[in-house]
Amino acid sequence: MKHLLLAAITITVLALISLLIGAGDLSLAALLSPQEGQYAAQILLISRIPRTLALILAGTAMAVAGTIMQMLTRNRFVEPSTAGTVESASLGLLIVTLFAPEASVIVKMLVAAGFALAGTALFLRILRLVPLRSVLTVPLVGIMLGGIIGAIANFIAYRFDLLQSLNAWTTGDFSGVLRGRYELLWIAFALTLLAYLAADRLTLAGMGRDFATNLGLRYRSVVSFGLVIVAMVTATIVVTVGMLPFLGLVVPNVVSLLMGDNMRRSLPWIAMLGAGLVLVCDIVGRVVYYPYEIPIGTIMGIVGSALFLLLLLKGRERLA
């Protein structure tokens, strides 16, 4: 409990640092100044607080989604960006933009979730047909499937002059987050709470169909429930801020190395570590080239790939 409290305090400190960083002046003196106070308060309420909340919500949800995928596939190297889920969600957004450009954000999110669910189901179907002689075969299949879906999306986007929109969905960036443009992420947070409530069932499902069925678990229903959560979370994040690569892969592995595979026990830590990692990467992206900003997707790609390689080299047998 003490460690959880310390982690929560760390997240709070990172959130406060995130609130104070940016091109606009948002110091305590500016907030209290009679001349600049109103302007500083507007920056805080319209931009900084929504952005910080979006960082926490997206990091929490994506880390938990990665955990669910790893449980259901029983492979430590799987997450939405290595299973074709993100690319499928982007393709869904592209299709709805082409045929219904005036559709609401909720409609776009639902269509993207449907495509993400279909892409993930296709990924699982392919896994049943491919001999899995190595734990690395699973993410390789997912990366190839994601590459194929991404190539289709790029061809369509190029044909209809939508490459810029597609790049925005496939590159995580919180610079455009304002009040009224991030609230969809609360849906992802609600789905994360649902995953925590169903943690014991998801843990049992991760032990295999036969084991779970022998314990009286409705295996297919639990797997479907987990996949719906992953698809909805992925679609929500892609629609709002774009892709956050490697987050759902690295965070669950780090927590698993330290705490084991009991999902109910480890899920709060996964959620907080996911939020903390996203906050740190965003702060770095805003400070390195100040006052300009490096997209968080770029920072996450560098940090996540380095941590992934470290985990792969140091503990491949443990992660399998």
Report residues of the chain scoring pLDDT below 50: 318-320
User: pTM surpassing 0.95?
Assistant: no
All structural domains of the chain: 55-319 (1.10.3470.10)
Q: How many CA atoms lie within 13 A of 130 on its CB side?
A: 18
Output the pLDDT for position 36: 61
Residue/partner pairs of 197-200 with CB below 8 Å, 24 or more apart: 198/222, 198/225, 198/226, 199/263, 199/264, 199/267, 200/263, 200/264
319 CB-near residues (< 8 Å, 6+ apart): 76, 77, 135, 253, 256, 257, 311, 312
* Residue owning tokens 């639902």: 110
Q: Tell me what pLDDT residue 24 has.
A: 63
CB 16 within 8 Å of CB 26: no
pLDDT, tens only, 185-194: 899 899 999 9
Tokens of 143: 């990366």
Q: How far apart are CA 291 and CA 32, in angstroms?
A: 23
Nearest partner of 43 among 62, 22, 63, judged by Cα: 22
User: CA angle 290-271-186, nearest 5°?
Assistant: 80
Q: Are 252 and 270 in contact (CB under 8 A)?
A: yes
Report angle CA 79, 267, 285 to the nearest 5 degrees: 60
CA of 300: how far to CAs of 155, 177, 204, 316, in Å? 26, 18, 31, 22
Please give the pLDDT value at position 319.
Answer: 44
The CA-CA-CA angle for residues 306, 294, 233, to 5°, reads 70
pLDDT, residue 35, reads 61
The pLDDT score that the predictor gives to residue 95 is 92
Q: What is the pLDDT of residues 257-298, one digit of tens each?
A: 887 777 778 888 899 999 999 999 989 888 888 777 888 888
Residues contacting residue 283 through CB under 8 Å, at least 6 positions apart? 14, 17, 18, 21
